[in-house]
Amino acid sequence: MSERGEIGAGGLAALFAIGALGGLIGDMCHVQSGTTIYLEDPLPYIWESQLWFPLMVGAGTAALGWIAVRLGASASEDERAEPLRSAAAMIASVLALYALTAVVRGEPASVGIVLCYSVAALICARFAHDRVDFLCAALATVFGVGAEIVLSCLDVFEYADDVEKFVNVAAWLPALYLAYGVVVARLGVLLSR
Amino acid sequence: MSERGEIGAGGLAALFAIGALGGLIGDMCHVQSGTTIYLEDPLPYIWESQLWFPLMVGAGTAALGWIAVRLGASASEDERAEPLRSAAAMIASVLALYALTAVVRGEPASVGIVLCYSVAALICARFAHDRVDFLCAALATVFGVGAEIVLSCLDVFEYADDVEKFVNVAAWLPALYLAYGVVVARLGVLLSR
Amino acid sequence: MSERGEIGAGGLAALFAIGALGGLIGDMCHVQSGTTIYLEDPLPYIWESQLWFPLMVGAGTAALGWIAVRLGASASEDERAEPLRSAAAMIASVLALYALTAVVRGEPASVGIVLCYSVAALICARFAHDRVDFLCAALATVFGVGAEIVLSCLDVFEYADDVEKFVNVAAWLPALYLAYGVVVARLGVLLSR
């Protein structure tokens, strides 16, 4: 348990695929609900997303999982006993929260914020196991929200006018990245040996 | 644990009652939200449902629970220790998903689909215990969705125009039946001796 | 485990703070969504709430936690092993349900009622540990719903016209108080020694 794990090329490829596919599914919800709008489309679209989006989420997911494993995150007993069930529950939780951020678009700002942060806290409380998980949640939030702020300031995409903002991005965005960061750290551990 | 269980007349009656009552509660959500519309009413209404609906769901629930027990599904430790708590959580999960399929009516198709399938995956990951549970989920989906396709093609009822369709029925419908199938298999085990 | 616990001044102050802050957060959702409207404002507002509201919820929370501990409620193994994780999950669950009661405002009455009571049942099934928890849930419901009925009959505040009512208050209100009562009993135990 205290041995440092390692994540191989197969594990990194799986993390990339999970991140890219999950990003495409979630971004489809945001685009179709009008939550986000692409303002520039230099690259081809995949489903509703500009090509750079799934590549970026996939790469970030692989990097974050790698970091979690390198920093010594270890599996819980439940995860060891039933890795597939754990992974399915984690991925479904984050996708449900992603879709929820699209559902709350028409609601008053406070309702969407309270609901999304509460659900994110439930996901973290359910799945976080290691201190490293919270570090990964913080990294995901800083770099993920940071990247979205830069891209929206550069007018690459924007959040709809009626979405409550925090520096140009949705106020519920950190909640989504926090839950995502914890889950990716856990998936990294599940895919390491 | 490896002994084959049996479900008596009392257990089957309880499954029928849970299925019929749960069906009435969920169908009320669908009818009042305009998600589904009865086009023919040869029978009396119970709440918002034509009489055949709770009878069909009740009979299907009893049959599915019987199948699960006959195929050797066994209780998990948690279920054995706290059967009432387990049953309450399972039934409440499926009813919450049923109501959620009514809530997503006004949302873009992708948002409703991602949210309902993610929640269904969470319910399956939480409660499924045996391979038999997944077989029951598949049976429920094939026969449940199949029956609804036949009935809607016969113009007995229909899904609203603005609901995203998969062969005449809502695209999120398989998610509801998957979660329902897993939970009914578990309830059958809980009601067997 | 069978020793009667005690809750000190620090624990009561923490319960008061959790209740008052949680009440302010939830009431903000209700006021901003137009679910509830203050009709009299003799006192200053804190965020969106009249001052008496967080004081009343805070005092009720401290009293209910004190009662749970005095009646001998004891911690579960999970709670003992990870009190912070348990407390975070409990508080987040109730806040999510609070926000959900604001989200369902535009939905048909049945949908909101089924969704809120199902989620409340999930919270109770997840966290209730002792018989005392259900007594506290009953106390919270009787006194909480009772107080809101009295205050709305006195025209201190009202629920919006389009909210399905049960004697002047929202029909989903007992669900919120049931979940709140169970969670406050558990928080009392966690804060006792």
Give the pLDDT band of residue A193 (cuts 50, 70, 90): confident
What is the predicted pLDDT for the residue at A5?
Answer: 78
Taking 90 as the threshold, does the pLDDT of residue B193 lie above it? no
What is the predicted pLDDT for the residue at A1?
Answer: 43
Give the pLDDT band of residue B190 (cuts 50, 70, 90): very high
Q: What are the average pLDDT values for consecutive 10-residue runs of chain C, which has 193 residues? A: 76 98 98 97 96 98 97 93 97 98 96 98 96 97 98 97 95 98 98 91
Sign of the dihedral through C-alpha C113, C60, C186, C89:
positive
> What distance in Å separates the CA atoms of residue C52 and residue C41, rounded to the nearest whole number?
10
Say if the Cβ atoms of B114 and A98 lie within 8 Å: yes
> What distance in Å separates the CA atoms of residue B33 and residue B26, rounded to the nearest whole number?
11
The token duo for C45 is: 């507002």
Residues of chain C in Cβ contact (below 8 Å) with chain B: 103-104, 107-111, 114-115, 118-119, 121-122, 124-126, 128
What is the predicted pLDDT for the residue at A2?
Answer: 45
- Over residues A106-135, the mean pLDDT reads 96
**What is the per-residue pLDDT across B48-72, written as a single tens digit (0 to 9) for each?**
999 999 999 999 999 999 999 999 9
- Mean pLDDT, chain B, integer: 96
Contacts of A148 (CB under 8 A, 6+ apart): A169, A173
Taking 90 as the threshold, does the pLDDT of residue A3 lie above it? no
> What distance in Å separates the CA atoms of residue B28 and residue B33, rounded to the nearest whole number?
8
- Over residues B74-89, the mean pLDDT reads 95
Give the pLDDT band of residue B4 (cuts 50, 70, 90): low
Closest-CA distance of chain A to residue C85, Å: 5
- Over residues A138-164, the mean pLDDT reads 97
Residues of chain A in Cβ contact (below 8 Å) with chain C: 103-104, 107-111, 114-115, 118-119, 121-122, 124-126, 128
Size of interface A-C (CB pairs under 8 A): 55
Say if the Cβ atoms of B125 and A33 lie within 8 Å: no
What is the predicted pLDDT for the residue at C165?
Answer: 95
Q: Where are the beta strands (DSSP E) in chain B?
A: 36-38, 45-46, 49-50, 157-159, 165-166, 169-170
- Over residues B123-142, the mean pLDDT reads 97
- For residue B165, report the phi and psi dihedrals to the nearest 5 degrees: -110, 155
Q: Which of A48, A91, A95 to mutate to test the interface with B (most CBs of B within 10 A)?
A: A95
Secondary element (H or E) of residue B149: helix B131-153
Q: Which residue has the tokens 């019987």?
A: B66
Contacting partners of chain A (3+ CB pairs under 8 A):
B, C
Alpha helices in chain A (DSSP H): 9-32, 52-70, 77-81, 83-103, 109-127, 131-153, 173-190
Apex B20 CA angle, B17 and B24, nearest 5: 135
Secondary element (H or E) of residue B39: none
Q: What is the CA radius of gyration of chain C?
A: 16
